[in-house]
A and B are shown apart, each in its own frame.
Chain A
């Protein structure tokens, strides 16, 4: 009950925060970019068996995602503070 309730609350909060994203279409890469990634993969594959490229990309993506989220939060707070009577 406790876990379920907290998970529901967190899910609701995240659902609310991400609701604008639901208006967007699915993220798909342009054909040219997919082709370039395919070409790059041929070179990357030479070191993938010794260096985990997939994990590196995942970590970089998460880091960028966190920083972008913080930046978006700061922008939203900056806009809110511009509203009179809100400090």
Chain B
């Protein structure tokens, strides 16, 4: 077997790369249509309307007791809800939210408050919220974004799912494209009436529904299509367990030597870059970071593409001239 591998190593490597690409695609597809296990029902969410990153967050627990699938504004226990932006390491980022385009609810000093008549459980809300950061946030990192209770524990009560650029992560996190202290993020909040299911603005797999990480075929799509769908799901849909194994393997490799040291160095540098305030090169005030017309943003995007293309070219040549 070993000799066979040595003699046919290029074929094995090519097969391995193909399998990896196929699995990556399948996993991404499975993730794209997968809700968080904690969000069997989605009653609302965020939609980023001001940036390239597209994601949607559902709400599955937003009442005063954190048990219902409906948000109640102006409750006795929690008269208002705070917006919060929290880094993964629980470093708190306060935000200022302004200009809500609906009646009955307003943002004041970062708090979501009742404005006028108290909202009833039958009220549906769509609010455009503008959030201005009060400090820089990291590039391409994940943050918790949502409402919290406003008490001392600042419990995050906004749980759901999100799809930043096709990736999937645990609930109540969002990916941000980085931002300076003056970056403005625009969000659209959906809080639907009790019992109404929020339809996320993401593509859905035809004739399938997702619960947890299980895809269920639509039995009304016809016997042939239903059978083929079930067959495809049975044959090619990886189980949650095996995906969890791979996830834990990734976590393991990033914490143990030798790869762990690379990640430690990378995380140390990237984190410090995002938090340092000693920059002497200022962007012109004419542009905001994240603005697609910002020349710095364009150049940065170009460098990102160039770096990954160079890396792909290196991988291609490395395989082409691979010798053991």
Contacts and interface: CB of A to CB of B under 8 A. Distances in A.
Contact of B269 (A37, A70, A74): A37
A65 B266 CA distance: 13
Nearest to A60: B262
14 contacts: A4-B239, A8-B242, A11-B242, A27-B258, A41-B276, A45-B272, A45-B276, A50-B299, A51-B300, A53-B273, A54-B266, A56-B307, A59-B310, A80-B2
Contacts of A21: 252-253, 256-257
Interface of A: 1-4, 6-8, 10-11, 14-15, 18, 21-22, 24, 26-29, 34, 37-38, 40-42, 44-59, 61-66, 68, 70, 73-74, 77, 80
A55 B138 CA distance: 13
B300 A44 contact: no
B264 interface: yes
Interface in B263-285: 263-266, 268-270, 272-273, 276, 278-281, 283
Contacts, number: 148
A interface secondary structure, majority: helix
Nearest to B138: A54
B257 A42 contact: no
Q: Chain B, interface size: which category?
A: 35 or more
Given A2-B235, A48-B273, A49-B300, A59 B246 contact: no
Contact of B235 (A1, A18, A26, A58): A1
B280 A54 contact: no
B261 A29 contact: yes
A34 B311 CA distance: 27
A28 B265 CA distance: 9
Nearest to A43: B278
